[in-house]
Amino acid sequence: MNDIDPPVQPAAFPAAGEDATTARIALARVLRQAGIADAAFEARILIEDLAGEDLAGSGAKLDEPAVLRLRAALERRLAGEPLWRILGAREFWGLSFALSPGTLEPRPDSETLIGAALDHLGTRRHEALNILDLGTGTGCLLIAALSEFPQARGIGVDLSDDALATAAGNAARNRVSERAQFRRARWDEGLSERFDLVLSNPPYIASAEIALLDAGVREHDPLLALDGGADGLDAYRDLAALLPARLAAGGRAVLEIGAGQEDRVRALMTAAGLRHLRSHRDLGGHSRALVFAGEI
C-alpha cells in the first residue's frame, strides 16, 4: 500500500465472510489514511484481538460478530481513542493488565523500573521482601515485581477507588492476589512498616504542559495520574519527605521520572538524606528510573 491508495470508507469495512488477511490490509489502509503512524501494527492487533484469528495462516474468514466488533473498534480509533483503551488491556513485563478510566496505560518505558529493581535486589530474589507501590494505578509495577520476587508481598496505594479495584482485579488476573493488597490513601498515609523495595511512577507533568500532550494521553489518561503541579515536581517533594521512614535497611526506592527531571529529583532526594545509586535509561536512551538507598 502507498500514498495513492484509493480511499476506503470505514462504514463499508470489513464485511462478513471476508478473508482476515485481506481485512487486515484494508484496515491498515484506513488507519494510515487517518494519520495513525503504526497502522499496520494496530490493524494486526485489532484483527487478532477482536476477530480471534491467527494471521500466521491464511484463508480465515470473518464472521458477523467479529465484523461488528471491528467496526465499533475502528470508529473509536478514528475518533482518537488509544488502541489499548479500546481493547481494554495492555501488556506490561509480559503480563496482561486490564485498564479503566482511573488508570494510566502501562507503558514500555516504565518497565525500566522493574529492570532496575532486579539489578539492585536480584541477589535477594527469593527472600520474603516487603514491597510498596505508591500510586499503583493498574498495579503493573507491584504485580510485575511480585512476579519476579516469588516470596515477596506488597501493598499498592492509590487515591482512586477505580484504580484500586482495577489493580486488585489485575492481581487476580496475574495470580499474585494472595501476596498483594491495595489500599486507598495519600502516599504512605496509615503505614508504619518499612519496605525493602518502594516503587513509584508519580504524576510528573507540569500543569501548564498537560494541554500540550498528545490527545490520546490528555483526553484518556486520568488527570490525577498526570498533573505534577506547577513544575512537575510536587509528588517528588512528597516522596522525599516520606521515603527515609519507609525504606528498610538495605532497601531501595525506584522512581520514574520525566524528561529533564533527573538533576532536580536527585537533588530533592539527596537533600532528604537518601543516597542516589544509579540512573537507569529506557529503550530510547532517556533517564527513566532513579534508584535511591536510605542509608547515608
- Given a cut of 60, whether residue 196 has pLDDT beyond it is yes
Q: C-alpha cell of 262?
A: 533527573
Using the 3D structure, point to which of 56, 79, 102 is the last residue of a domain. Answer: 79
Q: Is 73 part of a structural domain of the chain?
A: yes
Q: Is 5 part of a structural domain of the chain?
A: no
Using the 3D structure, point to which of 57, 79, 101 is the last residue of a domain. Answer: 79
Q: Are residues 93 and 236 in the same domain?
A: yes
Q: Is 265 part of a structural domain of the chain?
A: yes
- Given a cut of 80, whether residue 9 has pLDDT beyond it is no
- Given a cut of 50, whether residue 1 has pLDDT beyond it is no
Helix H, strand E, coil C: the string for the chain is CCCCCCCCCHHHCCCCCCEHHHHHHHHHHHHHHCCCCCHHHHHHHHHHHHHCCCCCCCCCECCHHHHHHHHHHHHHHHCCCCHHHHHCEEEECCEEEECCCCCCCCCHHHHHHHHHHHHHHHHHCCCCCEEEEECCCCCHHHHHHHHHCCCCEEEEEECCHHHHHHHHHHHHHCCCHHHEEEEECCCCCCCCCCEEEEEECCCCECHHHHHHCCHHHHCCCCHHHCECCCCCCHHHHHHHHHHHHHEEEEEEEEEECCCCCHHHHHHHHHHCCCEEEEEEECCCCCEEEEEEECCC
- Given a cut of 50, whether residue 92 has pLDDT beyond it is yes
Q: Are residues 109 and 198 in the same domain?
A: yes
Q: Is 4 part of a structural domain of the chain?
A: no
Q: Are residues 139 and 236 in the same domain?
A: yes
Q: Are residues 61 and 139 in the same domain?
A: no
Expressed as residue numbers, the domain containing 47 is 10-79
Exposure of 296 in the CB half-sphere (CA atoms within 13 A)? 5
- Given a cut of 90, whether residue 204 has pLDDT beyond it is yes
Q: C-alpha cell of 183?
A: 489500599
Q: Say whether the peptide bond before residue 14 is cis (omega within 30 degrees of 0).
A: yes
| Average pLDDT of every residue of the chain | 92
Q: Is 1 part of a structural domain of the chain?
A: no
Q: Are residues 99 and 205 in the same domain?
A: yes
Q: Are residues 125 and 29 in the same domain?
A: no
Q: Is 131 part of a structural domain of the chain?
A: yes
**pTM (two decimals):** 0.91
Which residue would you say has higher pLDDT here, 214 or 268? Answer: 268
Q: Are residues 70 and 152 in the same domain?
A: no
Q: Are residues 45 and 149 in the same domain?
A: no
Q: Is 66 part of a structural domain of the chain?
A: yes
Q: Are 70 and 145 in contact (CB under 8 A)?
A: no
Q: How many domains does the chain have?
A: 2
Q: Are residues 96 and 67 in the same domain?
A: no
* CATH number of the domain enclosing 261: 3.40.50.150
- Given a cut of 70, whether residue 14 has pLDDT beyond it is no
Q: Are residues 134 and 74 in the same domain?
A: no
Q: Tell me the per-residue pLDDT of 269-291, one tens digit each, with 9 for 90 and over.
A: 999 999 999 999 999 999 999 99
Q: Are residues 233 and 118 in the same domain?
A: yes
d(CA 19, CA 163): 39
- Given a cut of 70, whether residue 201 has pLDDT beyond it is yes
Q: Are residues 107 and 248 in the same domain?
A: yes
At 13 the pLDDT is 67
Using the 3D structure, point to which of 26, 45, 79 is the last residue of a domain. Answer: 79
d(CA 63, CA 254): 47
Q: Tell me the per-residue pLDDT of 111-163, one tens digit each, with 9 for 90 and over.
A: 999 999 999 999 999 999 999 999 999 999 999 999 999 999 999 999 999 99
Q: Is 165 part of a structural domain of the chain?
A: yes
